[in-house]
Structure 1
């Protein structure tokens, strides 16, 4: 839209605004003089224009320019504009007094000078507010087909929402609901508060609302679950306003309505890292991220770029994922230096070349296979990619004097019952074994399931619901810990920036979530009813799966850290010589595709590993029933 069209759309031309304001200055000055002498018999001359009037106009025009009064638009006049008007009025009267003081304010009554800034503020602010109210009214009246909206909440978010709805012209707010008793019967932006949240069904019928909008961004998970249940009882579609974190991360825009996400219902309070510590640690560094195109790896790249690294080296085996993350980083962070290394992080030659060529300060090792049932039938790949590739990267970092090696692990490594858990636990032991008093600092970060990652349960359930069901759950009692991708990456950065050598860190993830409850919530969010519109089918635990996961071993003696949401695990006793010595045997077994030997080495090195299925090399059970409905984190 051109500059002229923008003005035609509701913004007054700036020259007209300036002329209006100068006219009001002149009128204010003359009217105050007229009022001052109105009751006197001997009235001095009050010319329409003289030297004093010229001084007043010039001084006030300069004051308007100084405070930036004309940067705002009448269409969106607000309290900030009124403050600028008051400021300009007081600056103007001070300038007038200083200029006219050379002739001792001859002919200028003190009462006029005292009343002038207040009268001028009213004359300038009144038309602006009237113009905005008129435009808001026209916006509401311009579209008779505007969708009728009932707003849940009556706080600051609701006030902003009502303003945005009026400006859009596509929606009409017909009422608000709030549980605060002192607000009942009041009005917000002219919209009545018609009852409490429990009244939503009856009020929605009475107002003929077609859409419900939840405008309470501070709700915790329990409160959100209650509000969602109330909204569902009406049978109407519902949306919510974005949270502050969504706006800051760029995942939502101001004024944009969004569907309620499953993350809003799981009780996960956003983690707030020590930003000063994280930025101070990252600023100016070169970091290398393995698995840089995956769910965790790509978010790590974004977070590092956002918080001050000078250069990011992407190590990724998939050229498609590599191109995606490289393009995104170059587009959003044009001053960031991005280097690409295409290949397998388990290739010693490639790894040595990447480290010697780019000299990273920190390596984030996020590349891994993560699908529990699939890896049960592919033990060799679990060992090769999760254990041996970690050993390759970790030893190369020590050889090339990399400052920090951060290994991304999983809660499946605690009392492992699967190939994934055992291979990841072995990798944890490698990092702790290589850790020395000097040289590379090895840090392990262990967390649970990641919502929305590739192959994870949420996108699987979403796709099953889209197809009309059934939604497949392995067992009615199965539960998992959950966290979001950004939250997981913030934990990694926080732990890496503040950790001690060889430590294992874990996020305080609250209570585990029953997968059946997760399925039911997602079905309801899709506007369906569980067991009525969408069936839930229980398929039985698959190879390698446990009913419940643990965050720590019982003898790790977890303890708090300087961050209230980050816990540190104590180092369990183990033989570093055995861990490192068995690597050679493990490589030989992988080269020979000797599954029995691999299983024997894993069991000897990780004695707590107790496979739930005997046939570790057996085909994937249940593959014809469930297309890997992972209760696990997806590929990083």
Structure 2
């Protein structure tokens, strides 16, 4: 109803504007004397006789060109072009009509009405937006409005300002712009002044009483964004960010695309580039098995594998709730996917034999494992059963049933391990490397650091502690860890399968390690609080089996570059398969009889394992 009233009023305004344009054209053409002059009066009579038709023609053209469909409160350069084009076509139509009926007007009248139509028709529409802008600017001091600083005076920044001004419902007003380009200092972007560079962020935020900062530099590198965010984090403002260019498919910015700054943005890591075509070759039309398919890494593996059109996707997990969740998600997002969920434990050799015999998978991603360091330190026998003998069961079945590729999900904690979880994952790597020497199956391992947001990772723990008002607990002020996102980890895993020749340990260049205490402080700031003032950070001491820093390669492995600048290969370490088999047999005997000796024997099997508890 409101839209019909608005359109009706606009049509009435256009009728007045169209006829006023004609009258003003006559005034300008005949110097105001168009009624009493013989020739001018004749022309004006032609206009009067055809006024309804001429007006109707222009209104019809306006309607056809969508002049009554646009939201003129958002009018910009595109709408101005629309007005010019429509006015030109409408003028040409009236010219054609008078030519057909042989009742001509002077050519200058058509030219003048064209110009005046643009001024009057455009003025009606843009005056609405101007009035809204004046009103919004007048509301700048109104309580409740968020005062926003935009970092970036480029195209994205200008579009963010325009979006904020166009959307009253956001209850936000752009106050200041920050940009490192000295040439832009003191200038205005869509009416908002550029007040300094990144090092003025804190000062400007305090002086202008900024509530929210929006980072609008989508073309900047992750490292650059991280540096800017560090400056922003010195303020008490809420932080938002425009996605990077790799996330903005069309290069346009809208309010819906602006998101809260996530902890991932503070890592300063560039996204890993992978060869999607190479990855799709070995997954397309293949039966793919993902063990631990309901976990953080396993479920993301399933999501990404589903996009490569596998012949069949098998999700294997012992925990039915997780498997059920990813099953429903995949059914919803990929209804065409041939999917089957298998509830089973990798420890159960007979069940593994049944599954491999029945489904004969072409590719196996082995993500099933126990991974919580303190829990496994207290329950070493369970870590061994799952991480060592579970891996052995799946790997031997892969060999027996001629699987093409087998990819083990490993961890940086397998390097010079100081805990039983890391040591068992190193044994799992040894199994894979040994199997690659005797099998036609291409066995590889993928090693990476901590995964942001995974089950049991530090970020969800910190968030829960912040929600409860703190304190946030950090084990040691100097603890550092490598971090990556779940999608990155999974892309590396899939890429490793494509590059596999057998026996490699693939390693991601994870950038610089991050201090956990810095991560905690940044997460507190991102949550709108000040560390040590609103939310305290408590040092609790290293947990059993935990070390201050992690490594990604052992010294003896070396490092070999690949065609991917972020992916490297640790060279295979020679293993005697018969010796490893004998040691695994002995380990199983100890596991069945004396749990107290299992750590001692794991230490014997993994010379780089150093127990610190």
Length-normalised TM-score, structure 2: 0.81
1:431 and 2:432 are equivalent in the alignment: yes
The whole-number CA distance in structure 2 between the counterparts of 1:244 and 1:385 is 40
Q: How far 1:344 moved relative to its partner?
A: 1.4
Equivalent residue of 1:406, what SS?
strand
SS state of the match for residue 339, structure 1? strand
Output aligned runs, 1:163-182, within 5 Å: 163-166=162-165, 167-169=167-169, 170-182=171-183
Deviation, structure 1 residue 232: 5.6
Q: CA offsets per residue over residues 290-313 of structure 1, 9 Å max, x none?
A: 222221122222333355556533
**Contact 2:160/2:254 (CA < 8 Å) preserved in 1?**
no
Structure 1 equivalent of residue 327 of structure 2: 326
2:71 to 53, 70, 73: 73
Distance apart, 1:268 and its partner CA? 2.0
**Alpha-carbon distance change, 21 to 394 in structure 1, aligned in 2, over 3 angstroms:** farther
Match of 1:289, SS state, is strand
Q: Residues of 2 paired with 1:421 and 1:587: CA distance?
A: 18
2: CA distance, partners of 1:176 / 1:299: 38
- 2:287–2:363 CA contact under 8 A, matched in 1: yes
In structure 2, the residue matched to 1:262 is 263
Taking structure 1 as the reference length, the TM-score comes to 0.78
For residues 65-120 of structure 1, the C-alpha deviation after alignment (integer angstroms, 9 at most, x for no partner) is 5x7777643333333444455566777889999x8999899958777888888776
What count of residue pairs does the alignment treat as equivalent?
Answer: 599
Q: 1:278 to 1:222 in 2, by over 3 A?
A: closer
What stretches of structure 1 of length at least 5 have no aligned partner? Answer: 614-636
What is the CA-CA distance between 1:448 and the residue it aligns to?
0.5
Partner of 2:512, secondary structure, is coil
Asked if 1:422 corresponds to 2:419, the answer is: no
More moved, 476-485 vs 534-543: 534-543
Is the Cα–Cα contact under 8 Å of residues 506 and 569 in structure 2 kept in the other structure?
yes
| Partner of residue 134, structure 1 | 131
SS of the residue corresponding to residue 578 of structure 1 reads: helix
**Counterparts of 2:576 and 2:294 in 1: how far apart (Å)?**
35
User: Mapping of 1:21-100 within 5 angstroms?
Assistant: 42=39, 45=43, 47-48=46-47, 65=64, 72-84=70-82
- Verify the 8 A CA contact 2:80 2:122 in the aligned structure 1: yes
> d(CA) in 2 for partners of 1:153 and 1:509?
27
Paired with 2:124 and 2:50, the residues of 1 have a C-alpha distance of: 28
Match of 1:153 among 151, 154, 170: 151
Task: Please list, as runs of the form range in 1=range in 2, the aligned pairs for 1:184-333 lying within 5 A after superposition.
Answer: 184-207=185-208, 209=209, 211-218=211-218, 227=228, 231=232, 236-244=236-244, 254-255=255-256, 259-279=260-280, 282-283=283-284, 285-306=286-307, 308-309=309-310, 311-333=312-334
Alignment of 1:513-592 (within 5 A): 513-526=514-527, 530=531, 534-590=535-591, 592=592
Structure 1 position 491 matched with structure 2 position 492: yes
Segment drifting more, 301-310 vs 83-92 = 83-92
Q: Report the Cα distance in structure 1 between the residues aligned to 2:479 and 2:200, rounded to whole angstroms.
A: 36
CA–CA distance in structure 2, aligned partners of residues 278 and 501 of structure 1: 16
Answer whether contact 2:57 2:94 (CA < 8 A) is retained: no
Bigger Cα displacement from structure 2, 182-191 vs 33-42: 33-42
Q: 1:368 to 1:57 in 2, by over 3 A?
A: farther
Quote the RMSD (CA, aligned, Å).
Answer: 4.4
Which piece of structure 1 moves more, 137-146 or 494-503?
A: 137-146
Q: Check 1:322–1:29 CA distance in 2 against 1; reply closer, same or farther (3 A cut).
A: farther
Stretch deviating more after TM superposition (398-407 or 373-382): 398-407
The residue correspondences of 1:103-114 to structure 2 (distance < 5 A) are 107=104
1:374-394 CA-partner distances (Å, limit 9, x unpaired)? 212222111111121122222
Distance 2:495 2:24 in 1: 65
Where 1:435 maps in the other structure, the secondary structure is helix
Q: CA deviation at 1:439?
A: 4.5
Question: Partners in 2 of 1:437 and 1:55 — Cα distance?
Answer: 89
**Cα distance, 1:22 vs structure 2:** 9.1
Aligned to 1:397: 398
User: Secondary structure of the residue that 2:556 maps to in structure 1?
Assistant: coil
Change (3 A) 1:423 1:68: farther
